[in-house]
Copies of this chain bind each other. A is one copy, B any other.
Amino acid sequence: MIPNDPVEHLIALLSRLPGLGRRSARRAVLKMLMDPADKMLPLAEALHAAAEAVRPCETCGNLDTTSPCHICTDTHRDRKLVCVVEGVADLWALERAHAHRGTYHVLGGLLSALGGTGPDDLSITPLLRRIESDGIEEVILALPATVDGATTNHYLTDRLKPTGATITRLAQGVPIGGALDVLDDGTLAAAFKARRPL
């Protein structure tokens, strides 16, 4: 029915993106089809370019066009201060909030008994190595205020204590159960500033 394969295929792919249902995907495709040269081809190009250019930073796990990423190579950053996040989305959210003047470390997940995620699935050994080699003085655990976040906080506190680094976590103010990357910048910056030692 309706048009043919290429359009239905495109709608199906678009509607898999978070935030786009089938109806919005259809509307988006229709709008682009009104002016394909100006609306569709540039988007196709941009997807290609990003897919080609972006890679994970070998140091911190951020996604960027260089590895090490522009944060890890920024000489104005305080390398003695590392902020541990669950994922890249959280890193980007903290950057948008201008909350942190140090570097980051992306864990790549949280410990989860139910989800079957153990310490070996997370980037913990590389974090320990960085603390050692960079002489990191403070590790800020910026993990979500969920059960898995708390479990991971406890586990990391135990594992990192022998390094001698101060371990802190974000202040109350991060809503229980709330993901960091949907918080407004002000809340995020305030919680960051009021971080507490664990």
| B-binding residues in A (CB < 8 A) | 1-7, 9-10, 13-14, 17-21, 23-34, 36-37, 40-54, 62-66, 69-70, 88-89, 92, 95-96, 181-182
Contacts and interface: CB of A to CB of B under 8 A. Distances in A.
A43 B29 CA distance: 12
Contacts of A51: 32-33, 36-37, 40-41, 44
Which interface residue of A9, A27, A47, A65 has the most chain B CB atoms within 10 A?
A47
Contacts of A2: 92, 95-96
Given A10-B47, A44-B45, 8 more contacts: A6-B52, A10-B50, A13-B46, A17-B31, A19-B24, A26-B92, A32-B47, A40-B48
B19 A27 contact: yes
Contacts of A88: 30, 33-34
A7 B14 CA distance: 18
Contact of A48 (B28, B44, B62): B44
A47 B41 contact: yes
A10 B44 contact: no
